[in-house]
Amino acid sequence: MRAAIPTGNITVPQRALARREYGTRRPVTPAVQHGRRTLPRRKSSGLPTLRFRAPFLRSLPPAVTHLAVRDVIPEGVENVKASVCAGIGQPFETQEVEIASPQGREVLVEVRASGLCHSDLHLAQNEFGLLSWPAVLGHEVAGVVSAVGPDVAEFQPGDHVVACLIQFCGRCSNCLTGRTYQCLIPDAGNRAGSEGPRIFGEAGPVFQGYGIGGFAEQALIHENQLVAVPKDLPFSAAALLGCAVVTGAGSVINAAKVRVGESVVVIGTGGVGLNAISAAHVSGATRIVAVDVDLEKLELARKFGATDVVHAQASDTVEQVLAITNGGADHVFEVIGLALTQAQSYDMARVGGAAYLLGVGKPGTTLELDSSVKVLHRQKSLQGVNMGMTNPKTDIPIYAELYRQGRLNLDDLVSQEIGLGDINDAYRDLAKGGIVRSVITSF
């Protein structure tokens, strides 16, 4: 007897009928019914199609390699354009891949905007041991729900959603106490090997970065990683809520708990750093110092609430910050990931102050601190912060509302809107300076 593979709302008789009508063993996708909505198969884009072939079986766990190919392929697939990275150091290339229909608690999202976070470039250029290749990266996503799996209770077609790369089970002790960013079983929402990949191509599964894979026309995402947002939010701004905003603003509000009258320093004024500045302003900090080597970004930081700016190449950065803050800041946020700036962040904190490490360093990066008696006397804290200690289901709606009230600046984060095929050029633009966020809005 054939093993049963969940296939969402596509029934076995429909698949059998499709095979008889079209004379092929490959499944032909009938329309998927969702209430009164009918979602037809997407037309081919004209790009080379990555067809699924038997070599994929070699990549499956031994327990499922006895299944026939037709039993493993998720039926009801659609052809979509995606930007695929083949491996470390390889460019992003636009290809046509196949994306499965939603199963269980999966949600199919038509991507309307996808931000280019610098972390995706880090992952594509450095071996962190977090990904398999080839992969579709991209995790700052805003879009419209087009279909839902049979067990989805939170969303329906037509909802506007943003994705967040925090993966959580919702059942472990940390999740049950609101610490989804510290989930003990973060891959619980991923598919089992026997269910087939969400995205696949000729060589086998295409890895889905952080369970999102947002550099594509569509993304198939577990509902835990999605949050509904008001429909009047621009997609380009909404996309940034799931990473740049929750990481920067969340670190200030959730981790540091910045209070009225305190002083804040932010080292690095990219998307995350500017959101940290904005949140410090909303929280009532009276002195907010932005530090960067990019003069354009420093000028932009003033629009987000910075009271002072320090050009890191013009003078001794630490001494200048200590002079502005009268001996050191209450809270210092390092958003770059360099050992030098991490050490500087600790030096910029006042007695009893704290430094928070938000930036992603390259593999092997180490931080050295003076551990003599001075450490005891100054009583500083050094803390790594993951994703702003965010609970996306509660925090993202708050940030969305602050934006609607004009209290959280998202519009000035978007430096340029680009097409799916422009990712490589946009990352080169980022390296030149002056760019905060490039957002894909044309697919």
- Note the pLDDT of residue 3: 42
Question: What percent of the chain is helix, strand and coil (3-state, nearest 5)?
Answer: 35, 25, 40
Q: How sure is the predictor about 8, in pLDDT bands with cuts at 50, 70 and 90?
A: very low
Residue 80: closest CA among 122, 121, 50: 50
Residues 6+ apart with CB under 8 A from 214: 111, 114, 136, 137, 138, 139, 140, 141, 163
Report whether 202 contacts 53 (CB < 8 A). yes
* pLDDT-wise least confident of 60-69, 126-135, 358-367: 60-69
- Note the pLDDT of residue 124: 92
Alpha helices in 185-262 (DSSP H): 235-238, 244-250
Residues 6+ apart with CB under 8 A from 309: 289, 290, 291, 292, 298, 299, 301, 302
CATH 3.40.50.720 fits 247-386, yes or no: yes
DSSP-derived secondary structure letter, 213: -
pLDDT in tens, 235-244: 999 999 999 9
pLDDT in tens, 184-237: 999 999 998 888 899 987 788 999 999 999 999 999 999 999 999 999 999 999
Tokens of 387: 């994703």
Residue 435: closest CA among 109, 116, 73, 150: 116
DSSP-derived secondary structure letter, 44: P
* 60 has pLDDT over 90: no
CATH of domain 12-243+414-442: 3.90.180.10
Q: Does the predicted model carry a pTM greater than 0.75?
A: yes
Greatest pairwise CA separation for the chain in angstroms: 80
- Angle among Cα 328, 334, 336 to the nearest 5 degrees reads 145
Beta-strand relationship, 92-99 and 37-39:
unpaired
Domain boundaries, given as residue ranges, for the chain: 12-243+414-442, 247-386
* Terminal Cα-to-Cα distance of the chain (whole angstroms): 42
Rounded to an integer, what distance in angstroms lies between the CA atom of residue 6 and that of residue 59? 20
- Note the pLDDT of residue 271: 96
